[in-house]
Amino acid sequence: MKNLQLLFLSVLITLIGLNGKAQVKITVNSENAEHQISKHIYGHFSEHLGNCIYGGIWVGENSPIPNVNGIRTDVADALIEVGMPSLRWPGGCFADEYHWKDGIGPKSERPPMINTHWGMVSEDNSFGTHEFLELCELLKCEPIFAGNVGSGTVRELSEWVEYVNADIKSPMTLLREKNGHTDPWYVKYWNIGNESWGCGGNMTPEIYFDNMVQYSTFMRNYPNKRLYKMIVGPGGSDLDWTERLLKKAADNGKLGMFNAISMHYYTVPGPSWQQKGSATEFGEKEWIVTIRKALGIEELIEKNIEVFKKYSPRRKIDLAVDEWGCWHTEEPGTKGGFLYQQNTLRDAMVAALSLNIFNNHCEWVKMANIAQTVNVLQALILTKDAEMVKTPTYYVYKMFKVHQDATLLPIEIECPEYEFDGEKVPAINISASENEAGEIHFTLANFDPSQSHKIEIPVNDKLKFSYGEILTSDNLNDFNNFGSAENVTTKEFKEASVKSGNLSFEIPAKSILMIEIK
């Protein structure tokens, strides 16, 4: 850490409103900077759902769309640019009906299957284990496999681990060699099932626990290939699931059988799952409700952590928020069950505040996977035939990648509330970190659509403003669309300076900002 000593031990950041009156106080407790922001907080999720895989990531080797062995070149290049650290596959609900052996070997011999969860469409299994791992190699990211506990067998999952990780002669390694890959890949990260309380089997926590123990037992650690196992945690606010699952694990002495517990959290702007609300047709009321609901993820993270501490006081359990994001009503005219939605400045705000929250809880949150990578839910990328669009959420990830594997600078914040039509949320959301190069980054979101804020950050005179980026747009519901210039994209932010020991800048209304000092 090169520059922590250059910050005051408690750096007071005062945001000053347009009337000159101090409104917000933020303290950066640099003396407590001890936790690393895992790069896997910036992970992604790709499911066999709609056009995420087929048409989004995978077009096949014979497609006129430029590709590398069937993988879309434009999508791969964009994901490399955003710094994708890890990718979860094949689901989601799909994982618990996916049988991996149907997706290996000559493509002409792979049996088709019905995707019963998403659209009742037939899939030809042309994108399977080898193709996914080639994608991860191309993107230089870590693969995350979600194992089939709902409709699969213990043997099936055990053999999948052996197929991709073992380097000892066996039927599975010989089969892998026959299929063109002599050396093992080593897949470290594994979900033992998905949403077992729902689409993954409608189990109770106790029944899932018994299944998990059996499956986990036969997921072997091959030489120098230790697995990181993630078990099914709660969906949304279901803390009862967490409580009962961990109680049984503690009572039976099985806390050592897994490394992390997952948590799924979706932000639904509308009043119910049946009335989610449009992705693009909304006003300020829907804007602030969405922000308020998205901020709720922080409380659930903290409540789950308290349960972790209660049942595992000596052994730390990690939290993996391996599905999260905005869930809107599907776009009119699109296929039902494909979950295609547009992505506006509002979605970018949800991405920014969520990543800031994950950063600030990085002692416990070690992985997070936005749903989903391409063409589904809060996607980073949209495709239509040969065209591709980078969404506002994509640009948030590109801005925020500066935090990956950096050291968190803990922050305490007091700020005014942004209010509209009876709803209230804190106006400002922020996180900060320092990387090994000694660069300090602040990422801020200003939720207020009409009020900007002047910011002064006391710093040592040796620190200078280096670089800034801003993401905003004219309208709350602006988005990027095919055949048009991008409405919502990042621009360089230059209106910052260090004078008399203060880093000063102004964050405009409805904007997301990254500031670098060094």
In order of 7, 153, 173, the CA distances from 176 in angstroms are 54, 20, 5
Q: Which residue has the tokens 């070149």?
A: 73
Residue 361 region, left (φ>0) first, then alpha (ψ -120 to 50), else beta? alpha
- Helices marked H in 312-419: 345-360, 392-400
Catalytic entry in 323, 434, 456, 469? 323
Q: Which residue has the tokens 């299944």?
A: 211
Residue type at position 263: M
- Helices marked H in 189-283: 205-217, 239-251
Per the CB < 8 A criterion, the answer to whether 321 and 304 are in contact is no
Residues 6+ apart with CB under 8 A from 142: 40, 85, 86, 87, 136, 188, 189
Please choose, from the candidates 325, 263, 264, the residue with its C-alpha nearest in 3D space to the C-alpha of residue 290. 325
Phi, psi of 185 (to 5 degrees): -90, -40
Strand-pair partners of 390: 381
Please choose, from the candidates 51, 52, 123, 60, the residue with its C-alpha nearest in 3D space to the C-alpha of residue 88. 52
Catalytic entry in 97, 123, 162, 195? 195
Per the CB < 8 A criterion, the answer to whether 432 and 442 are in contact is yes
- Sign (positive/negative) of CA torsion 51, 56, 60, 66? positive
Residues 6+ apart with CB under 8 A from 109: none
Distance, in Å, from the CA atom of 497 to the CA atom of 459, rounded to the nearest integer, reads: 11
* SS3 of residue 407 by DSSP: strand
Q: Taking CA 138 as the corner, what is the angle to CA 483 and CA 67, rounded to the nearest 5 degrees?
A: 45
Helix (H) or strand (E) holding 138: helix 129-139
Please choose, from the candidates 281, 158, 175, the residue with its C-alpha nearest in 3D space to the C-alpha of residue 220. 158
Annotation says 109 is catalytic: no
Q: Which residue has the tokens 């933020």?
A: 26
Per the CB < 8 A criterion, the answer to whether 470 and 513 are in contact is yes
Structure tokens at 495: 């209106």
**Helix count (H) and strand count (E) of the chain?**
9, 28
What pairing do the DSSP bridges indicate for beta strands 318-326 and 260-267? parallel
What pairing do the DSSP bridges indicate for beta strands 453-458 and 502-507? antiparallel
Annotation says 195 is catalytic: yes
Active site residues: 195, 323
